[in-house]
A and B are shown apart, each in its own frame.
Chain A
Amino acid sequence: MDQQNAKPKRSLLRIVLRNYQVYLLLLPCIIYFALFCYGPMYGLQIAFKNYNTGLGILGSEWAGLKWFQQFLSSGVFWGIFKNTLVLSVYTIIVGFPLPIILALMLNEVRSLRFKKITQTISYAPHFISTVVIVSMITLFLSPSSGVINKIIEAFGGDAVYFMIKPKLFQHIYAFSGIWQHVGWSSIIYLAALTGIDPTLYEAAQMDGASRMRCIWHINLPSLRPVIVISLILSAGGVLGGDFEKILLMQNASIMETADVISTYVYRLGIGMSQFSLSSAIGVFNSVINFIVLLLVNKICRKVGDTSLW
């Protein structure tokens, strides 16, 4: 009995020593995460304390789950939670497939020049700052002078005041997000596609496969690991959203769909110095995200063989 327990221990150490180079390669990362991520982690306590800046994080007194109780029992919180969820899920559903499709299409283009130009144009919007993006959205969607409404009117319709309709907010947010990021997001898929062995295509063509079939049977499977990982990571951001963009797009009329957790936390935190409360909401947010990530990861592992760990 003793020997059995002793053996694994010794061979564990031996395995580690034998593979010391792997651990050496990992060391810089370990130092980084320990110092910059886990070091400040004690700050999570703010969510469980009555944070007093004079006493510091450690000196402030404990408040237990008081803040959690406060916002969970508030009438408005669940509405905001729902908004956040709906916005993210909608963005993922609509926005996730498009970069993949774009990458697949671009990959098929023979002309290098066309490819380069299209790619450069497609990822250019990613760099424009959010402030300007939102100004442009407001200008284009303006009921009196915006391009979109001018087109609608040219076709005989009535101008629509897009920015004040709560129901339209999610669509505007999602599609402007796609416009801004689809090119950039497709880059990672394009990189994966370049790793495909060209002999596979030759073999498929000799078997008489059409282009579409090649894509379906060769390209997509090779993208699968990246797609799955990206999906899992997106799921982990399900209670996130582009905080700055939403904040700038918000106006009084659409708060019932446009108020999300991050903007709410910002209003309470910076606006009303409620550090502990906003920290508690942040912790809650993270917990949910993390649980979702674990769930989705487990599902993906069961279904395929790719997972995060």
Chain B
Amino acid sequence: MQRESNKRKKRVEVFDVVNIVILFFFTLVIAYPLYFVLIASVSAPTAVNSGQVWLWPVNANFNGYSIVMQSAEIWRGYLVTAALTVLGTLINLALTLTGAYALTKTHLPGIRPIMFLFTFTMFFSGGLIPTYLLVSSLGMRDTIWALILPGAVSMYNIILVRTFYRSSIPNELLDAAVIDGCSEIKTLLRVVLPLSKPIVATMALFYGVGHWNQYFQALIYIRDKNLYTLQLVIRNLLLESKNLLNNLVQAGGMGMSQEYLSEVSQRAETLKYAVIVVSTLPVLLVYPLLQKHLVRGIMIGSLKG
């Protein structure tokens, strides 16, 4: 008996070791460019761009960060994006979780065709111009709704949630709920959702991150500086000097414009990496917080009971 259990233990160990070693190297490879961003954010831009920076910072300085900290636009962008992320994600979840549940009922009339119609929109869309006209006519321009409502539901996500419902929620549970006299809505709220924590957490993450990174809709619909999302503010800062160059070049290049150009392009280069760190950090911290909902063990007790 003893020898048997020892053998089992050993086999488990080797597998674990190999697993961890591979994962470790994998992590190193992934981590290096991240490390690079970190050291580049405190190095002199010319050193970074000439390839001198690869293991240590060169000409270390915190200029990038100090400019970021002092920039009112960036802080405003943070606020807008944070509000957008929270509000947007709540709306997304409300729509997705309910819609996906309804779409699992393929035996009901109209469900299959509706599924097809929804999926159809993943491929065919009227394009930018009509959507812009629609948003405009609904009076949503320069409001936060223009950033939330178009694209409020991703069919891709609905499909994922629906798949999860179908494969992870046993039919016996649903039947039991019906027998207990639960209506569909009650079943969804009391039975399905509590068991769906992993997928809900995942969707919150997907949608949340989508909102955090979003800039195209702001680019199209927002002209009010106070409503710029973080990503838009950042892009304005980073690409500013590129556009400026072309324009100033044409401006007959009198000395005054050259001097300004030099300031601006320097600033953009200094900021480039610091800005990534500042805008990415919050998101990186969110996942560990959500992770406990993605841990196994949720199903224990549900079937046995």
Q: Which residues of A contact B (CB under 8 A)?
A: 12, 15-16, 19, 21-26, 28-30, 32-33, 35-44, 46, 57, 102, 105-106, 108-110, 114, 116-129, 131-132, 135-136, 139-140, 142, 144-147, 150, 179, 182-183, 187-188, 190-198, 205, 210-212, 222, 225-226, 229, 233, 236, 275, 279, 282-283, 286-287, 289-290, 293, 306, 308-309
Q: Which chain B residues lie closer than 8 Å to A117 at the CB level?
A: 27
Instruction: Identify 13 residue pairs between A and B in the complex whose beta-carbon atoms are under 8 Å apart, listed by A's number.
Output: A22-B108, A25-B184, A29-B98, A40-B134, A57-B130, A105-B23, A139-B49, A145-B52, A198-B296, A211-B15, A225-B166, A290-B120, A306-B163
Is the beta-carbon distance between A40 and B153 smaller than 8 angstroms? no
Q: Which chain A residues lie closer than 8 Å to B160 at the CB level?
A: 188, 226, 229
Number of A-B contacts (CB under 8 A): 255
Q: Which chain A residues lie closer than 8 Å to B185 at the CB level?
A: 21, 24-25
B130 interface neighbour in A26, A42, A187, A283, Cβ under 8 Å: A42
CA distance A220 to B134 in the complex (A): 45
Is the beta-carbon distance between B124 and A41 smaller than 8 angstroms? yes
Is the beta-carbon distance between B31 and A121 smaller than 8 angstroms? yes
B205 interface neighbour in A33, A41, A187, Cβ under 8 Å: A187
Q: Which residues of B contact A (CB under 8 A)?
A: 8, 11-12, 15-16, 19-20, 22-23, 26-27, 29-31, 33-34, 36-37, 48-52, 54, 94-95, 98-99, 101-103, 105-106, 108-112, 114-127, 129-131, 133-134, 149-153, 156, 158-160, 163-164, 166-168, 183-185, 188, 198-199, 201-202, 205, 209, 212-213, 231, 234, 238-239, 272-273, 276, 279-280, 283-284, 287-288, 291, 294-300, 303
Is the beta-carbon distance between A121 and B27 smaller than 8 angstroms? yes
Closest 4 CB pairs of A and B: A145-B51, A43-B126, A40-B126, A43-B130
CA distance A226 to B99 in the complex (A): 18
Instruction: Name which of A147, A187, A195, A236 has the most chain B CB atoms within 10 A of its CB.
Output: A195
Is the beta-carbon distance between A40 and B125 smaller than 8 angstroms? yes
Is the beta-carbon distance between A127 and B283 smaller than 8 angstroms? yes
Is the beta-carbon distance between A191 and B158 smaller than 8 angstroms? no
Is the beta-carbon distance between B19 and A108 smaller than 8 angstroms? yes
CA distance A287 to B125 in the complex (A): 11
Q: Which chain B residues lie closer than 8 Å to A211 at the CB level?
A: 11-12, 15
Given contacts A25-B99, A127-B280, contact A43 B34 (CB under 8 A): no
CA distance A187 to B12 in the complex (A): 25
Instruction: Name which of B26, B127, B163, B272 has the most chain A CB atoms within 10 A of its CB.
Output: B127
Is the beta-carbon distance between A108 and B15 smaller than 8 angstroms? yes
Is the beta-carbon distance between A122 and B184 smaller than 8 angstroms? no
Residue of B nearest to A11 (CB): B109
User: Is chain A's binding surface mostly helix, strand, loop or mixed?
Assistant: helix
Beyond the given pairs A109-B16, A119-B291, 9 more chain A to chain B contacts, judged by CB atoms under 8 angstroms and listed by A's residue number, are A25-B98, A26-B98, A26-B102, A40-B131, A41-B124, A145-B50, A194-B296, A289-B123, A309-B119
CA distance A210 to B199 in the complex (A): 29
Is the beta-carbon distance between A33 and B153 smaller than 8 angstroms? yes
Is the beta-carbon distance between B34 and A121 smaller than 8 angstroms? yes
Is the beta-carbon distance between B23 and A225 smaller than 8 angstroms? no
Is the beta-carbon distance between B30 and A120 smaller than 8 angstroms? no
Residue of A nearest to B168 (CB): A195
Is the beta-carbon distance between A282 and B127 smaller than 8 angstroms? yes
Q: Which chain A residues lie closer than 8 Å to B15 at the CB level?
A: 108, 210-212
Is the beta-carbon distance between A132 and B20 smaller than 8 angstroms? no
CA distance A116 to B292 in the complex (A): 10
Is the beta-carbon distance between A210 and B34 smaller than 8 angstroms? no
Is the beta-carbon distance between A136 and B22 smaller than 8 angstroms? no
Q: Which chain B residues lie closer than 8 Å to A140 at the CB level?
A: 33
CA distance A38 to B133 in the complex (A): 14
Is the beta-carbon distance between B296 and A196 smaller than 8 angstroms? yes
CA distance A142 to B49 in the complex (A): 10
Given contacts A12-B109, A22-B102, contact A179 B29 (CB under 8 A): yes
CA distance A212 to B18 in the complex (A): 12
CA distance A124 to B183 in the complex (A): 42
Is the beta-carbon distance between A132 and B134 smaller than 8 angstroms? no
Is the beta-carbon distance between B294 and A190 smaller than 8 angstroms? yes
CB distance from B42 to the nearest CB of A (A): 16
Is the beta-carbon distance between B125 and A41 smaller than 8 angstroms? yes
Q: Which chain B residues lie closer than 8 Å to A29 at the CB level?
A: 95, 98-99, 102, 118, 153, 158
Residue of A nearest to B167 (CB): A225
CA distance A198 to B89 in the complex (A): 31
Q: Which chain A residues lie closer than 8 Å to B168 at the CB level?
A: 192, 195
Is the beta-carbon distance between B202 and A191 smaller than 8 angstroms? yes
CB distance from A112 to the nearest CB of B (A): 8
Residue of A nearest to B285 (CB): A120
B23 interface neighbour in A33, A106, A293, Cβ under 8 Å: A106
CA distance A93 to B77 in the complex (A): 39
CA distance A123 to B31 in the complex (A): 10
Q: Which chain B residues lie closer than 8 Å to A128 at the CB level?
A: 37, 276, 280
Residue of B nearest to A297 (CB): B119
